[in-house]
Structure formats: structure tokens, C-alpha cells
Structure 1
Amino acid sequence: MNVRTADTAAITAVLDRLADAWERGDGAAYGALFTPDATYITYVGTLYVGAQEIGDAHQALFDSFVKGTKLAARTVSIRFTGPDTALVVTRGDTYKGRPGKLHKIQTYTLTRQADGEWKIAAFQNTKHQAVMEAVSFKFQPASKPAAAHA
């Protein structure tokens, strides 16, 4: 297995552990996947800073608003920007029961730590506004991306 294949597998495993912690409602395990100084921006614009704050805030959410939900996600791309840094773009959403349409787009920045483990250093979550996007493309076709990033 080459280095990039191993790194890609390790990064995918981090995202799998993130989904598992979410499903179990375990804020401490969720936060532990982030660096001590990580930034986390929710789709409503809330900024959390640091693994501890991310974990604590998510525990409060797991105990209330998102209790019993799961994460659905599909990786769009993993791009290495250096030997110890990767940018990951996913489409995802939360759900109960069966997963539906993936309404959100996430960007993760992961960094390899001194111990060799990959952790999330930054996260940005944006809710896809399909109607607004379609209007923009209709009135300004040059703003449409060249490739479909479904």
C-alpha cells in the first residue's frame, strides 16, 4: 500500500469515527477527533474553537436537538496539500430512520499529528441552497461550475 492510499484510508477512518461518535451521542469521542485548537463552523454560522468546546457543545446537542440522529455522508474529494495536510469535501446531512437527500456541503482540513494520527483542524458546514443556486445560474450562467459536484 502506498503512502497516499494509507493516508486516505486513515482519513476516511477519522470520518467514520466521527459518524460513529455522533450516532452514539458521545460528545467527548466526537471532540477527541479534533485538534486542540480546531475551528468548527456550523451551517447556521456558529463558531466553536478547540476540541474541548466542540465536544462539549456537541454533547449538549446530542442530548437535545439532534438526539437520536445519525450522519449520512458521501466523500466528494480528498486532496493532499502537503505531506501532513489534507482537504476533504463531503456532502452530508443528519437523519432519523432512513437517510434522505444530502443537503449540506462540508469542508474538513485534517492534519497529521506528531504521533502520526490524523485529526480535524478545521470544519465548515454549509447548507446547500438549490433554489438560490439555480436562480444564480439562470441569470448568470458564467457563475456555474464547470464540473458537476453531485
Structure 2
Amino acid sequence: MFDIVGARPHVWRIVIFVVGLLTLFLFFDPIGFASSSMDSIANRGPGNADTLTHIVMFQFKSDADPAAIDVACARMMSLKDHCVAQNSKFPYIKSLTGGKDNSNEKLQHGATHAFVVQFSNADDRNYYVERDPAHQAFKQEIEPLVEKTTVLDYTNGKFT
């Protein structure tokens, strides 16, 4: 057995260090060590449980000018700064990423470019889709270039 009373000082330092480290990990839970709930696991990743993700995929017309497509994509990316809340006049899009397809799976069904827009909640998404002047103008601008648009929205961690 281990003689606690007769232990050397360096052994005590090691024991105290290990206990302190374990306490920190359990208290601060930096890697989710103490989490056991599937809900908390599902909500890890970008955003929180209320984050609404809006995915847009464009199939541009085959005769669309590549320079015009580049301009359209740049305009789409700029919506993060140009879409502002009606009351506050501050941008409300949490994040916006996008790019040209580079998949080798051959499952694009014609889509050539995709964008992922994240909102804090459904109200922000609804304003963006239905009323935001910058977004409405963008949709009209790119209409002549687009053959097909596919949109999918979801709330982070909700599967039913």
C-alpha cells in the first residue's frame, strides 16, 4: 500500500497537480468531458441551438458570362455587410460562406455554386428572405443568370 503520511514532498506535489487538473477539467469542461446529454452534443459546432442555417445553391445558365457570375457571387458574399436589420441598421447575418463546387461525387444535380448563410433566429431569416431590400435587389440582379436555385434551411441540432 501507499503510505500517505510518509510520502515525499514531490509525490504530494504531483498528486495535488493531478487533482487540480482534473478539477479544472470537470469545472470548466473545455472538451465536453462532463457532458452526457445528446442535446448538448447535437448543439456543438457553429452557432447554438437557435442558429438557423440557410443553404442556397445556384445552377447558372450555360450561356452566362463567367465575369457576370463572379460579380454575382461577390454580391452574394457582400450581403453579410449590406443586409441590415430594419430597426437597428446593423448587419444581422451571423456568417456567410460560399464558393464554386469542387466535388467529385457527381451529385450536384446541376448546382455550380453554394452559399451558407447563418442567422441567429427564424425572424432574421424571414426578414432576409421576404423583405430585406439588399437581398431583394440581389435576387432581381442575378435572375437573368440563374437557371435553377435550390434552398434548404435548418435549425442547428433539430432532426425531427
TM-score over 0.5 (shorter chain): no
State the TM-score, normalizing by the size of structure 2: 0.21
More helix, by proportion: 2
More strand, by proportion: 1
State the TM-score, normalizing by the size of structure 1: 0.22
Greater RCO (CA < 8 Å, at least 6 residues apart): 2
